[in-house]
Amino acid sequence: MKKVLFGLSLMILTVCGMSVSAQNILNAEDETNLSNFYQRTMSTTKRALPYPFLRESDVIWETCIWRTIDFREKFNQFFYFPKGEDSLNNNQGRINLAYLIYRNAANGEFEIFDDDELKVPVEWEYMYRKLNKADTTLTDPIYDEYGELVDEGHDTIKYKNFSSDDYYQIYLKEYWYIDKQDTRMKVRIVSLALVDENCKEIDGDMECNPTTRFWIPMNDMRVRNLFARTNAYDIYNNNFERSYDEIFVTRYFDSFVTRQTNTHNREIHDYLTGEDALLESQTIEERIFDIESDMWEY
């Protein structure tokens, strides 16, 4: 009799468990789970893993590197897409990096700075006016077929709001160092800058130059936790999407070096151009990795 009661109890518990599990997987009464067939909570509650504590005496070698990530490279396109500002409009909840930074900087989630040293803070109201422009242009006078003036011309105000579509690049400032405790080469990204194309008409021709808008602190856990909660698209598996924090920590991107700490404080394009500049960038990368391997030579 005890065995029969035990079996009935086990069956009831199993059925109840299946019912609860089914409700967790798909519940028509759940107002927050209308577009998924299971509840997604891992990404929204994820937090970045803090960097391990580092003592000054443990750093036996370091160098500072500035590099550029270009979203137009095929490997980096997950930074740029989805296009547009509405991340909830047919984008599966994803959001591109530029608009993620803009939206949360506007909400005051973290401070922004004018320099890569993160010493000159910038008020968001000032930056908002720079990112959302209102340009005034004068239209040309209009004459009729008899040469009579019809319209003297007038000022026209054109508004240009922030658009993440204009941001093709970001700059990173990072420190490469060797930790004495395990004699390994490591890297810490300390700041990130949004970069867009600043185009001006000069002598009838449009000239566009990359322009740094502002820098954000990548050592700030508020920034890292924000990046940890936001996933980028993965072409192989939607359920294995990496967060932006994981992408930067694991260095899952293509980039090129634009500057290393040097005597004259110059960038590579200040003394080399074209293919020579590209070769110099690669040489700096190789030199850094060679330092770690050379430590083991006797």
Tens digits of per-residue pLDDT, 136-161?
566 667 777 777 776 766 666 566 78
Give the per-residue pLDDT at 142: 74
Domain positions in the chain: 45-131+165-294
149-166 residues labelled b (16+ CB within 10 A) or e (exposed): eeeeeeeeeeeeebbbee
Least confident residue range of 52-56, 108-112, 184-188, 239-243 = 239-243
Rounded to 10°, the helix 221-228/97-106 angle is 130
Alpha-carbon distance of 239 to 77, in angstroms, equals 18
Residues paired with residue 201 on neighbouring β-strands, in sequence order: 206
Q: Which residue has the higher pLDDT, 202 or 76?
A: 76
pLDDT digits (tens, 9 = 90+) for 9-53: 555 555 454 444 333 444 544 566 666 666 767 767 889 999 999
Rg of the chain in Å (alpha carbons) = 27
Model confidence at 229, pLDDT cuts 50, 70, 90, reads very high
Give the largest Cα separation in the chain, rounded. 113
Model confidence at 121, pLDDT cuts 50, 70, 90, reads very high
Model confidence at 135, pLDDT cuts 50, 70, 90, reads low
Whole-prediction pTM value?
Answer: 0.80
The per-residue pLDDT of the chain, averaged, comes to 83
Q: Which residue has the higher pLDDT, 95 or 157?
A: 95
Give the per-residue pLDDT at 67: 97
For residue 178, pLDDT over 70 is answered with: yes
Give the per-residue pLDDT at 18: 42
Per-residue pLDDT, averaged over 196-207, amounts to 77
DSSP tag of 34: S
pLDDT digits (tens, 9 = 90+) for 273-282: 999 999 999 9
**Number of CB atoms found within 10 A of residue 67's CB:** 20
Model confidence at 220, pLDDT cuts 50, 70, 90, reads very high
